């Protein structure tokens, strides 16, 4: 997993994609909650990735493209599908039925913390620095303030479900680093997204057949079907095109900052569409998260330091 690529920063286009991704994945929590009310966990995950795979293969075919056929690339697709879809999706969807949404968002926001540690050990160009580590810890604190410190009162309740979210965050961290290899394989973000969710579907199929036996279940209602369709089309097919594009140009740590932005997106969407009132803690939490993103990116603090140094020397 080590390579010699130079460190990358997020440009305006990448920041735009990251914010878009946070808005899309913020909606996935709502879709999951609607779907699991009528459909078992593993079946929801399978329907999500299988539906996304069908859409992505159709897009590639209509665009005149082709999927890779070599065994090495497909083995990478299966590895990515396991750590980026099968494990974390199953843990999160199961955990959501036992954990309050506030705790779920906080635990999900630990992903960048694990990512900076994994990237430090497994890459040569995303090394851990005091500013980067301080930035992710600051961002996690901002998420806690944004959601409300009171949510931590439930920490430790439904312990196994909370550990499931932590396990999902760790799995995402490894996936972010593992997925860097697709750039060197010459695979486009669309092909990578299609390969990953196809592999995930194949891995999930026997589990769904043995555990859920969906053919014996009653047909879900329109709400659950619509939620699964949203998960497949928006939160999987389109989202993973953005995911692999950002990963290719900006690296694993920058990519998984999206988990810090998802709670911000949820609060802002609630304010705009549900007319929920912004409280002082929301503003404070978002300001702290903004500072953490600047610290992790590193360019703004470096420019300020150079400016102060030049003035002192001058």
Instruction: Provide the residue ranges of all domains of the chain, joining segments of one domain with +.
Output: 12-313
Per the CB < 8 A criterion, the answer to whether 235 and 180 are in contact is: no
Could you give the CA distance from residue 171 to residue 115 in angstroms, rounded to a whole number? 9
Residue 299 clears pLDDT 90, i.e. is over it: no
Instruction: Pick the more confident residue, 232 or 267.
Output: 232
Half-sphere exposure for 202 (CA within 13 Å, toward CB): 13
Tally the C-alpha atoms within 13 A of residue 231's C-alpha that lie toward its C-beta. Answer: 28
pLDDT at 7: 47
Confidence bin at 6 (pLDDT 50/70/90): very low
pLDDT band at residue 302 under the 50/70/90 scheme: low
What pLDDT, in 10s, does the model give residues 194-227?
999 999 999 999 989 998 999 999 999 999 999 9
Of the pLDDT bands very low, low, confident and very high (cuts 50, 70, 90), residue 237 is very high
Which range of 131-140, 146-155, 231-240 scores highest in mean pLDDT? It is: 231-240
- Name the residue among 85, 166, 135 with its Cα closest to residue 254: 135
Residue-wise pLDDT tens digits, 108-143: 888 888 888 898 888 887 888 888 888 888 988 988
Average pLDDT of the chain?
85
Q: How confident is the model at residue 5 (pLDDT cuts 50, 70, 90)?
A: very low
pLDDT at 298 over 70: no
pLDDT band at 83 (very low <50, low <70, confident <90, very high): very high
Q: In angstroms, rounded to a whole number, what is the distance separating the alpha carbons of residues 256 and 179?
A: 12
User: Where is average pLDDT lowest: 133-142, 170-179, 233-242?
Assistant: 133-142
Residue 22 has pLDDT above 70, yes or no: yes
CA angle 53, 59, 61 (to 5 degrees): 100
Q: What is the pLDDT of residue 304?
A: 62
The pLDDT tens digits for 23-38 are 898 778 778 878 988 9
Residues 6+ apart with CB under 8 A from 158: 98, 99
């Amino acid at each position: 997993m080590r390579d010699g690529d130079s460190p990358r920063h997020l440009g305006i286009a990448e920041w735009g994609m990251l914010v878009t991704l946070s808005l899309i994945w913020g909606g996935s929590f709502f879709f999951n909650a609607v779907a699991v009310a009528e459909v078992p966990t593993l079946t929801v995950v399978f329907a999500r990735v299988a539906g996304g795979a069908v859409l992505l293969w159709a897009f590639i075919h209509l665009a005149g493209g082709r999927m890779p056929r070599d065994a090495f690339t497909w083995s990478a697709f299966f590895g990515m599908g396991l750590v980026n879809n099968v494990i974390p999706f199953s843990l999160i969807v199961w955990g959501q039925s036992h954990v309050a949404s506030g705790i779920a968002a906080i635990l999900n926001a630990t992903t960048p913390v694990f990512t900076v540690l994994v990237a430090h050990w497994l890459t040569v160009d995303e090394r851990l620095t005091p500013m980067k580590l301080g930035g992710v810890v600051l961002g996690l604190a901002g998420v806690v303030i944004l959601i409300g410190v009171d949510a931590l009162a439930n920490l430790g309740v439904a312990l196994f479900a909370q550990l499931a979210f932590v396990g999902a965050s760790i799995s995402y961290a490894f996936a972010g680093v593992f997925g860097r290899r697709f750039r060197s394989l010459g695979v486009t973000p669309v092909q990578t997204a299609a390969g990953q969710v196809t592999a995930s579907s194949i891995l999930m199929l026997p589990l769904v057949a043995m555990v859920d036996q969906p053919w014996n279940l009653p047909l879900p209602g329109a709400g659950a079907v619509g939620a699964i369709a949203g998960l497949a089309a928006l939160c999987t097919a389109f989202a993973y095109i953005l995911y692999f594009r950002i990963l290719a140009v900006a690296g694993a740590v920058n990519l998984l900052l999206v988990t810090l932005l998802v709670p911000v997106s949820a609060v802002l969407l609630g304010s705009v569409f549900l007319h929920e009132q912004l409280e002082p803690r929301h503003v404070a939490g978002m300001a702290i998260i903004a500072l953490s993103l600047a610290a992790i990116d590193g360019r703004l603090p470096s420019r300020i330091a150079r400016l102060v140094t030049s003035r002192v020397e001058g």
